Each structure stands twice: as structure tokens, then as C-alpha cells.
Structure 1
Amino acid sequence: MIVGVDAREARGPSLEQPVGAAGRGRYVNELLRHLPQVEPETKFLLYTSAAPPQDDLPQNVTWRPMASSSPHWHLRAAKAIRNECDLYLSLSYLTSFFLDAYVQTVFDLIAFKDFALSPGRSRRVERLTLRRAVRRARAILTISEATAADLAELVPEAAGKTTVTPLAADGRFAPDPAPEEVERVRARYELEDGFVLATGTIEPRKNYVRLVRAHAALPNDLRHAYPLVLAGRRGWDYEPILAAMASHADPPVRILGFVPDADLAVLYAEATVFCYPSRYEGFGLPVLEAMQAGAPVVTSNVSSLPEVGGDAVRYVDPNDAGDLRTALEELLEDEGRRAELRAAGLERAKLFSWEQTARTTMEVLRAVG
């Protein structure tokens, strides 16, 4: 069988850094690492919009770069896919518009849940294309039970052909990093001993304004002992968020910008508390990464996040800054409780595996290919 894969959000055959949205980029990278290993008899064609580096690839993997802008890329890719592939693993509803033999991955239903949580152009495209794509798909993959439920509510006929394939954390996210790595990362970002870490693109859905207000409301000694550190690139509508951060300058929020995975792993492991108060997620990969790295986690009690955190995290109402402040204060003052969450999170993270996700994905592809 020849399977095409939408690889536009992966970076190169070495697959070291995603270039797209964090969750989607990691999903593509890790599937492309593991699918050729679990299914060596299948040939994989990786369709991308940029020429990949000339790294070595497994014999059953070939890049198909197509230098074209959207929406023309989707038309060109679809034509090639129809000629070259038995089946296509589609991450784009627009490419699926021009295909018949495909499995559709659905990451989230943000575009249908709350207009304030997704940018206008992508929201309009998804609302125009998603229903048709999932109705015509031979099978559907979602990254959480919550996304599967949201999809079934929107398109009831999708329920009977949907399989959940959860994400997992890369092995580099681990507790107790080497002392020299800790020293290097702390020096690079000028970090003190204790800090509250938040990660993710700076955009409204991540709920950073409430997090900043919650941190600013902490007692003076806790606020200064554990400053708020944010690792993430700028997304859409970031200006009001940065303005809110600038208004709470005692101490100032540390905005690190994009942080490479090697540094992020150390930040997770060294954080006194990791806080992820997102208002909606398709999965919530940073929660899993933080747990696997040994960080005590505070996160929201909505969408897919309880699936990821289980009973190993402290949950909050993402719409209540007071609840978030209380959770932060409790954990920052209670070393024993932090140790309990650390241990529970490490055990919880063992339940997620990219190899299993790849195997489940391949089972679906074989069943309908």
C-alpha cells in the first residue's frame, strides 16, 4: 500500500523541529518518525510545500515537495495524490475537498465552539470545509475523546467511523536533567531558583490575561519568590495580552519567546509549578510534557485537558482568575502537595506512547486502504 501524508507542518526528514502549530507540528513529526517503523511494508509519500533537507530517510519514505501557495497547493497536491497513492492521511479539510480515498485527522473544533478563540480566516475556512471532509472520509482520527464528542455533536454520522489516537510526549521531556544543562538554561534565560512556568502561543485561547491577573493577586512574598515565566511565540491578537502583562510589572512577567525543545525540557523540570489555564484544547500536549518532565501541573477542567491530566493535576475553572490564584497559592506554599503531583504526573505520563498512536493509526489506514 502507498500512503500519502500531509507533511507541511513537519521540518525535514530529521524531523527535529515542527514549523507549524505546536500540537499539529509534533503530531506530524512523531507520526512520521514512527509509522515507517511500525509498518515497514507500506510506502509513505510525504507531501509538503517546501523542499526538505537532504537527510537520510527510511527506504519506505519519500518526500514530495510542491512549491505553491495555498489554495493552489491543495489542488496540485490532490492531483498528485490521486495518481500516486492508495490512501491519503489528510490534516487539511481543504485538500480533502479534492480527494476520495482519504482518512481525515481532526485536531479540534475550536472554529465551531467560540468565535473569540480562533482567528477569522482559519475559522471561516474550517467552517466551510470540515463537514464535507469528515462526511466523505473513509475514516476519521481525533486526538482526544473530547474532540471526538465535539465532532459527533456537529456531524453525527462521523461517530461510527472515528478512532481516537492520543498524542504523547517526546522522550526528551524527562525529570532531573543534567546539572550542566540546568546551569546552561538558567543562565541563558536569567532565571532564579523558583518560577511559575506557562507555555504556548500568545493568543486569546491560552488565557494568559487571567493567568497574569491571578499571579499578580498572589501574596507579595510568593509573587516575588516565584515570578511568572512565559515560553511561547506570538500568535494572533497578541497585543492586548502583552499589554496586560506589561501592566503587572511587580515583578515583570518574563517572556522568553520561542524556546527550543532542549531548553523547554529543562524549564519544565525546573519549574516550581507549571500552569496551563487554556480555555479550550484539542488535546493539551504541554500538560503531558510537563507531567513527564516532573512538573506539578495546574490546568483547566474543560475540553480534553482532564483526559490528559487524569487525577495527577490540580484543576481550575479557566474563567475564574480567583480559582486560578487559589490553586497557585496552594501549590507554591505546599511542597508536599507539589511532590505528590510530581509523582502522580510521572506515572500518568507513562500511559501515552507515540508508538501506540502510530500503531492505532496504521490499523485504521489498513482497514480502509
Structure 2
Amino acid sequence: MPSSLSSKPVRVLMDATAIPANLGGVGRYVDDLVPELEAQGVELTMAVQERDAEHFATRLPSARIIPISPRFESRPMRFAWEQTGLPSLIRKVRPDVLHSPHYTCPQFPGVPVVITLHDATFFSHPQAHSRTKQKFFTFAIRRAIRRAAALVVPSEATRDETIKYAGGDPSQFYVAYHGVDRSIFHPVDDAERARVKKSLGLDGQEYIGFLGTLEPRKNVPNLVRGWTQAVSDLPNPPALVLAGGKGWDEDIDPALAAVPSHLTVLRPGYLPLEDLPGFLSGCLVLAYPSIAEGFGLPVLEAMSCGAATLTTRLTSLPEVGGDAVDYCDITPESIADALTTLMNDPQRRARLGQAAIARSEEFTWERAAEVHAQAFRAAAGL
């Protein structure tokens, strides 16, 4: 019997007020995790932004949902509420433990705290972040290590990198791999793939896909260069579709400017959630040559859709991909060679797609919730 089910329920107050308005980033993690916690013996109370209250009340009918005032919606005001209003709420709710799903917690919470750290690249790859963001999160992580009774991380790589750069006792860390929502991310039929392709303006043209924010650590400029090398001389060159937020990588525009005019690059921005399965299932290859990740959710989502996926062996990515993806280095030449191999071998793409589906089934939010419950119980001394 899992330890999370072996004794009385653990009462957890989760501060979910840092979730962005579109449920992106940390919002996806919280939204997928919380429905699984009750089965692990967690009695959950959630502090949320008022705009999210109805969503979580519907999603979690058994949980207590406490909205905070809309005046605390901006980032500075939310931090102010975290340090003053949240301790007051803790005294009223009287949980066994406070869970902060996004790096920070009150200076004086009054109860044991579990903090989720999503990423150690603020230390290992500072150039991949703005200076302000890098300074804030390195401070927040060091503070979390001092304050938290337990720390949840999404990969062994994030745990090891955090300990290497910021310290912490290994026994303080709980590795909870992300899951994937298979009701959304699954292989789709030809008609759905064709619909999404047509919506992108690619009716009849194959494409290499990328999914993620266009930020420096995603290595998109080298992907553009590698793709260009791989397809320039082909009679019907596949397009490159860079799906995701614009980000701040100043090297992308020069790389795109060097693309020959007969090749097609699309930057559709964020795709609607309902289009992602068709986009991922429909690409020749999902290319994700990232330099560093805390986990690598786009890789898992692509695998769950049966995409032949190309990524790197850096940080957490081999923990996700295992033997069910192909790997490359971060250079344009390595990316080009790997893309060429996959484009020329449809049988290998099909084998990788089937292996990826099977591998993705090992990553579930139920398992993630079990690890979180273990961290909550350890922090609370239960």
C-alpha cells in the first residue's frame, strides 16, 4: 500500500495564485495534478485568483476553493499578498502543510512548506534568461532550499543541478515526473491532421514541427539552420513550423533571414489546445534540440501523439525520451544529419512513433500525485 494511503488524510493548502491567466506554464502542472491528489489521501484547499475560482471549483468539487481579491492579480501585488495575506489564510485554514507550486513562499508561513522547483537553468544556463529573471529565481531557489521541509522537482536532472549550484540535502527532494493528459494528447486520424495542416496554410505540404517558447535555451536558431541544410536541395522540401510563444531570442530573426526564399517557415504563435494533437501527430518529425530543460513537456506530449521525436541528451531530456526518440547534438550540422536520417526512413519514423506512445504511458499524473503526497506527509511528519 502506498504510504500516501497508509494513514489519515493530510490537509494541504495550495497557493495557486501564481497561475497565469491562460493556465500556461505552472498552470498546466497544477491543473493536471490536483484532480489526482484526493485519491492519494490529500484533503486540498486551494487559494486561487478570482478569475480561476470557477474553473477549479468545477474541476475539484470536493476541494475548498478560496479566491483572493482581484487587486492582487498583478505580480508585485501577488507577492505582497503572499507575504501578508497568505500567512493570515494559513492561520484560518490550519493545514498540515502549505504547498507552493512555483518557487516562492511566505517568510513566516507558520506551517511546514513544500515547494515545487521546476527548473535549475537559472544557475546552469544564466544566459538563457533575462538578468532580472535569473537573479530573482536564483534567490528564490536558494531561499526555498532553506525554508522548505520538502522540495518537489520534475526530474533527476533538476534535482542534481539544484544541489550542485544551490545546495540542499538530497533527502529533501522528491522527483515527480510530469504526466500527460491522454484525453488530449493522443494520435489522431488523417482527417484531423489534414484539418490542422490546412489551418496552418500547409495543405499538401509536409512539415517539421517545433513546439515551445522561442527562447534562447530552446536552440531554435540552430534548428532553423539545421533544417535549412537538410531540406534545401530536396525537390519538395518540408516546411518548418515553429509553434509557441514569441519569447525573446534575438538570434532567431537573423537565422530566419538567411533561409532561402524557396523554403517555408511558419511562426503561428500559440496553437489552440485542440489543434496540438493534429499538429504533433501530423509532423514528419517533432524537433526539439533544447540546450536545457527542467522536464521537457513538449517532448512528452509529442511522444503521446505518436510523433517521431528528435531531441538532445542534455539535462532532463533523456529521462523523458528514453529509447523512444532520436537524439542529436545542439549544432546545425548534427540537427541536419538527424533530420535527414529520419526524413529518409519512414519505417524508422513509424517505429519511433509506436515506441514513443508506449514510453509516454509510463508518465502519469497519478504517479506524480503519489510522489507529491509522500512529500506532503514527510513535511507534515505524518
Aligned counterpart in structure 1 of residue 219 of structure 2, from 207, 211, 234: 207
The 3-state SS of whatever aligns with 1:302 is coil
Residues 162 and 316 of structure 1, relative CA distance in 2, 3 Å threshold: same
Post-superposition offset of 1:148: 0.7
Distance 1:189 1:70 in 2: 34
Post-superposition offset of 1:260: 1.6
- The equivalent residue for 2:274 is 262
Choose between structure 1 and 2 for higher RCO, CA contacts under 8 A separated by at least 6 residues.
Answer: 2
- The equivalent residue for 1:82 is 90
Using the size of structure 1 for normalisation, the TM-score is 0.90
Deviations 1:96-123 (A, max 9, x none): 4342521011111111112211122221
Distance 2:235 2:12 in 1: 52
| Conservation of the 8 A alpha-carbon contact between 1:10 and 1:29 | no
- The equivalent residue for 1:36 is 38
Give runs of aligned pairs for residues 156-305 of structure 1, distance below 5 A.
Answer: 156-171=167-182, 172-175=184-187, 177-191=188-202, 192-222=204-234, 224-235=236-247, 237-248=248-259, 249-305=261-317
Residues 219 and 182 of structure 1, relative CA distance in 2, 3 Å threshold: closer
Post-superposition offset of 1:183: 3.4
- Segment drifting more, 220-229 vs 182-191: 220-229
Deviations 1:285-320 (A, max 9, x none): 1111111101101101100000000011111111x1
Post-superposition offset of 1:247: 2.9
Distance 1:345 1:178 in 2: 17
**Structure 1 unaligned runs (5+)?**
none
Note if 1:63 corresponds to 2:66: yes
| Conservation of the 8 A alpha-carbon contact between 1:102 and 1:139 | yes
The 3-state SS of whatever aligns with 2:327 is strand
The 3-state SS of whatever aligns with 1:18 is coil
- Segment drifting more, 221-230 vs 209-218: 221-230
Aligned counterpart in structure 2 of residue 27 of structure 1, from 26, 29, 42: 29
| Conservation of the 8 A alpha-carbon contact between 1:196 and 1:226 | yes
Give the counterpart letter for 2:64 in structure 1: V
| Conservation of the 8 A alpha-carbon contact between 2:18 and 2:102 | no
Give runs of aligned pairs for residues 357-368 of structure 1, distance below 5 A.
Answer: 357-368=368-379
- The equivalent residue for 1:2 is 11
| Conservation of the 8 A alpha-carbon contact between 2:14 and 2:99 | yes
- The equivalent residue for 1:91 is 101
Runs of 4+, deviation exceeding 4 Å: 9-12
Post-superposition offset of 1:276: 0.3
- The equivalent residue for 2:78 is 73
Give the counterpart letter for 1:257 in structure 2: G
Post-superposition offset of 1:245: 1.8
Post-superposition offset of 1:46: 2.9
**Cα root mean square deviation, aligned:** 2.2
Post-superposition offset of 1:74: 2.7
Residues 109 and 85 of structure 1, relative CA distance in 2, 3 Å threshold: farther
**Number of positions where the alignment pairs a residue of Structure 1 with one of Structure 2:** 358
| Conservation of the 8 A alpha-carbon contact between 2:150 and 2:173 | yes
Give the counterpart letter for 1:64 in structure 2: P
Distance 2:338 2:175 in 1: 31
Post-superposition offset of 1:9: 5.2
